[in-house]
Amino acid sequence: MNSNKQIVWITGASSGIGKEMALQYGAKGYAVAVSARRTELLDELVSDIKSKGGDAMAVACDVTDETEIVNAINQVVQHFGRIDIAVANAGCVVVGFFENLTKEEWTRQLDINVIGLAMTVKHVLPELKKTKGRLVLMGSVSAYVPNPYTSAYGASKAAVHIIGESLQVELLGTGVTCITLHPGFIDSNITRVDNKGHFDPNTKDPRPANLMWPTDKAVKDMIRAITKRKKLQVITGHGKVFVFLARFFPRITRAMMAKQIKEIKKNIPSS
Predicted confidence (pLDDT) per residue in 42-55, tens digit: 999 999 999 999 99
> Is 153 a known active-site residue?
yes
Q: How many domains does the chain have?
A: 1
Tell me whether residue 84 is in a domain: yes
Q: How confident is the model at residue 260 (pLDDT cuts 50, 70, 90)?
A: confident
Helix (H, G, I), strand (E, B) or coil at 3: coil
CB of 230 within 8 A of CB of 181? no
Closest among 138, 134, 130, 146 to 77, alpha carbons compared: 130
Residue 2 within a domain: no
Rounded to an integer, what distance in angstroms lies between the CA atom of residue 30 and that of residue 89? 18
Residue 1 located in a structural domain: no
Residue 101 lies in a domain: yes
The whole domain housing 159 covers 7-267
124 occurs within a structural domain? yes
User: Does residue 37 carry a pLDDT above 80?
Assistant: yes
Confidence of residue 4 (pLDDT cuts 50, 70, 90): confident
CATH number at 84 reads 3.40.50.720
Mean pLDDT of 202-231: 83
Distance between CA atoms of 30 and 28, rounded to whole angstroms? 6
Residue pair 116/215 in contact by the 8 Å Cβ criterion: no
What is the C-alpha to C-alpha distance for residues 251 and 253, in angstroms, rounded to an integer? 5
Ramachandran angles phi, psi of 204, nearest 5°: -75, 135
Whole-number percent of the chain with pLDDT over 90:
75
Spatial CB neighbours of 36, under 8 Å, sequence gap ≥ 6:
11, 12, 13, 14, 15, 18, 42, 60, 61, 90
